[in-house]
Chain A
Amino acid sequence: MNNSVTNTARLFGAGLRALLVLTVVCGVLYPLAVTGIAQALFHHKANGSEIRSEGKVVGSELIGQRYDLPLKKGQETPQPDLKWFQPRPSNGLGTNTVNTQYKLLVSGATNLAADNPELLKSVKEAQTAVIKDNSVNGYRVKPSDIPADAVTSSGSGLDPDISPQYAELQVHRIAAKNHLSVGQVRKLVEDHTDGRVAGFMGEPRVNVLQLNLALRELTEKG
């Protein structure tokens, strides 16, 4: 009995020493080496691909943000600022519930099922809003024109992109609100459409932050 307890303790000791030494290798040396290389070679990317405009950081190329009007008194959800290109809905984005000394973005999806009436309702409401917001000056959005990404929330809630179809759908509205020609805005969208990586990986997309930055430049110049 005593003997087997000693043996077990000895074996557990070996396991613990193995864990500690491998922690040094995989948990200290490895991440530090990778961080060193990453910071030396890809400083900008390793720190979040931040975008600057007029000397100020305006966000990350990779992280989506909202383009809303300031909250008015009594309002609970902000209205979209229709002057700017709008991103996808992000109903799954959370607020931090622990360590609330910070206001961290907590990525996430809605996880609503395809047959959940709540999801159906939110899709229909989003479609109504897209039609209402984007039908301007004789241009009428047909329900069949609305791509799926415009009315669904992404997996991360931080999707920085919209589909080229959703960007195209917003062109008339952006032109009207910013007193630009449809042609000018359409060219802007075309210039900021990224195709699939190497022609076949992923899907074509338009980065909303970069598109809006270019739009601001265009309106300020004009």
Chain B
Amino acid sequence: MSPFLAAVLQLLALIAALALAYRPLGDYMARVYSSPRHLRVEKWIYKTIGARPDTEMRWPAYLRGVLAFSAAGVLFLYLLQRLQGSLPGSLGFASIDPDQAFNTAASFVANTNWQSYAGEQAMGHVVQTGGLAVQNFVSAAVGMAVAVALVRGFARSRTGELGNFWADLVRGTVRILLPISVIGAIVLVACGAIQNFAGIHEVGQFLGGHQQWQGGAYASQEVIKELGTNGGGLANANSAHPFENPNGFTNLFEIFLILLIPFALTRTFGRMVGNLKQGYAILATMATIWLGFVLLMWATEFTHHGPALQAAGGAMEGKETRFGVGASSIFAVTTTLTSTGAVDSFHSSFTGLGGGITLLGMQLGEIAPGGVGSGLYGMLIMAIIAVFIAGLMVGRTPEYLGKKIGTRQIKLAACYILITPALVLCFAAAAMALPTPPHSVLNPGAHGFSEVLYAYTSGANNNGSAFAGLSADTPWFNTTIGLAMLLGRFLPMVFVLALAGSLAEQKPTPETAGTLRTEKPLFSGLLVGTILIITGLTYFPALALGPLAEGLAS
């Protein structure tokens, strides 16, 4: 069987598995966020927090909950790293420096998982499992909560109430993320991922001498890092490390975990707004872009342009033998079209255009299918923009899901789509203009600029993958990327929740003959076009200086 045919079969198997899980998981999540009942363990958690889970919140209260919880997360994670040197169970590893500890705390709370440290030599068991992996769960649950609040904004009328943040946070963690993680982690261990709390392993070698590796809770963190679209692995090589991703099956399974919740949330959305077809239209938009990107990536990686790859006879630099070019390409597209950033191969050594595809994937705003929660709310914002554009063409007030899209809604949506590009382009320009930051660049020429552009794109979009040649552990990059991650995560959430509040206050607008049918393929097409045009207009000049210049030259 040719590698290309095997790649196609893997893609088909992946789609089949996702299709099987779509309905049951999507409906289950809709029940989780709508059910009036609380589990016993949840009641105990609410009591400890001091929260009343049945109290409805308006958007400012919901937002305050998000920000208070996340601020506590940043502070706790920062302190945990600063104190690592004195904590037991840390393998005697030293405390993390202030700038890197800030960067890492911001990174994991913002669901980004940008890592300016090398996990296996820097972080002990306590920080990994008790700090970083916890944020892998709860930052994902926060994203889902905000998405559900926006969906409630569409579904509800004349109230302004969006649900209870604490209840959404706890339910997402306890009822959705934890059960899937337990099963997934055991599957990974059964395939060879390690899971222990041993100290440093010293292992003999075939020709004498020793290897030293750190033990650790690899499998339990690996599964939630994919499922929660986080991306921060225990090892520096991330999912290319054999302990995180031992074979071809686990590789496909990890891609499945990344896509599972983001795609299924469109079903949850359809269920909660009472029209499944609206969910399918969003799903179709996401799937079209994702599939298109996979095909483009195959086209460029299998033809392996670029002098070094041509000489080698294949794009295997930075790729593992057990995955090969085909599966590594699916992984790379999936991780950058979601907010994951886990990698099973190193994007910096992809072809020039292949690296450009990973960059563009993030620049679309990670909405196809995007991060858990953030993908859905990002896509719904784009849907509002698309409806608005269609409304301008025919000259009537746009509506989406029975809600009028007026001045306030469009202002909020516009703020949402402007904030991330502003962060990316301003920080990247500043880094290139200043004297010292460019010293961190590894590769010469256009690719060097791409490394910096990639870093801020990845940070502000909460992805976390890297053109990892960049030496990012400097005070400048730790601080600015840290800020980009926090602002790129929480400012959009402010706009989303404000939008949700304004939608929930409206009374429903009855559907008329002139209403744009947003459940039809025509609308999905319009939405794909809107996304591509807006992203293209924003980023084309920067892309032309980096990956396009590199890719077209070779």
A residues contacting B by CB (< 8 A) are 8, 11-23, 25-28, 30-31, 33-35, 37-39, 41-42, 45-50, 53, 56-63, 65-68, 81, 84, 88, 92, 94, 96-99, 101-117, 119-120, 123-124, 127, 144, 146-149, 151-163, 196-203, 205, 209, 212-213
Contact = CB atoms under 8 A, between A and B. Distances in A.
B431 to A, nearest CB: 18
B372 to A, nearest CB: 15
B514 interface: no
A201 B48 contact: no
Contacts of A46: 189, 194-196, 219
Interface string B455-498: 00000000000011100000000000000000000000000000
B9 interface: yes
B447 interface: yes
B49 interface: yes
Interface in B109-133: 118, 120-122, 129-131, 133
A88 B247 CA distance: 17
B307 A120 contact: yes
Interface in B162-212: 166, 169-170, 173-174, 178, 181-182, 185-186, 189-198, 200-201, 203-207, 211-212
Contacts of B194: 45-48
Residue of B6, B131, B213, B312 ringed by the most chain A CB atoms within 10 A: B312
A88 B305 CA distance: 21
For the complex of A and B, 5 pairs with smallest distance between CB atoms: A202-B248, A114-B306, A148-B314, A155-B240, A203-B324
Contacts of B447: 113, 115-116
A47 B198 CA distance: 8
Contact of B317 (A48, A49, A57, A152): A152
A59 B204 contact: yes
A200 B211 contact: no
B30 interface: no
A38 B317 contact: no
Interface in B284-304: 304
A59 B320 contact: no
Contact of B204 (A19, A58, A201): A58
Contacts of B311: 120, 123-124, 127
B213 A105 contact: yes
Interface residues of B, number: 130
B237 A109 contact: yes
A19 B247 contact: no
A34 B321 contact: no
B504 to A, nearest CB: 22
Nearest to A29: B178
Contact of A120 (B170, B248, B308, B344): B308
A111 B346 CA distance: 7
Contacts of B237: 107-109, 155-158
A221 B166 CA distance: 67
Given A28-B130, A203-B323, A19 B206 contact: no
B206 A209 contact: yes
A188 to B, nearest CB: 15
B336 interface: no
Given A34-B185, A99-B93, A202 B322 contact: yes
Contacts of B532: none
B184 to A, nearest CB: 10
Contacts of A33: 182
Given A34-B186, A98-B121, A105-B213, A26 B248 contact: no
Contacts of A109: 237, 240, 317-318, 346, 348-349, 468
A102 B314 contact: no
Interface stretch (B32-40, B65-73, B262-270, B392-400): B65-73
B173 to A, nearest CB: 6
16 contacts: A15-B71, A26-B134, A38-B185, A99-B93, A108-B237, A109-B237, A114-B308, A115-B445, A116-B444, A117-B444, A148-B316, A151-B312, A153-B318, A156-B242, A159-B322, A161-B320
Contact of A15 (B72, B131, B200): B72
A102 B350 CA distance: 33
B150 interface: no
Contacts of B65: 11, 14-15
Given A15-B69, A158-B242, 17 more contacts: A14-B49, A16-B75, A18-B48, A26-B138, A34-B185, A34-B195, A35-B195, A113-B443, A115-B308, A151-B312, A154-B321, A161-B322, A197-B247, A200-B1, A201-B13, A201-B247, A202-B249
Given A22-B138, A115-B553, A58 B189 contact: no
B320 A156 contact: yes
B71 A12 contact: yes
Contacts of B442: 111-112
Given A112-B469, A148-B313, A159 B352 contact: no
A17 B320 contact: no
Contacts of B313: 144, 146-148
Interface string B132-146: 011001100000000
B404 interface: no
B206 A212 contact: yes
A154 B75 CA distance: 37
B217 interface: yes
Nearest to B134: A27
A205 B326 CA distance: 15
B143 to A, nearest CB: 15
A26 B178 contact: yes
Given A58-B206, A106-B121, A99 B92 contact: yes
B161 interface: no
Given A115-B308, A115-B550, A35 B348 contact: no
B246 interface: yes
A28 B9 CA distance: 39
Contacts of A45: 189-194
Contacts of B181: 30
B384 interface: no
Interface in B1-51: 1, 3, 6, 9-10, 13, 41, 45, 48-51
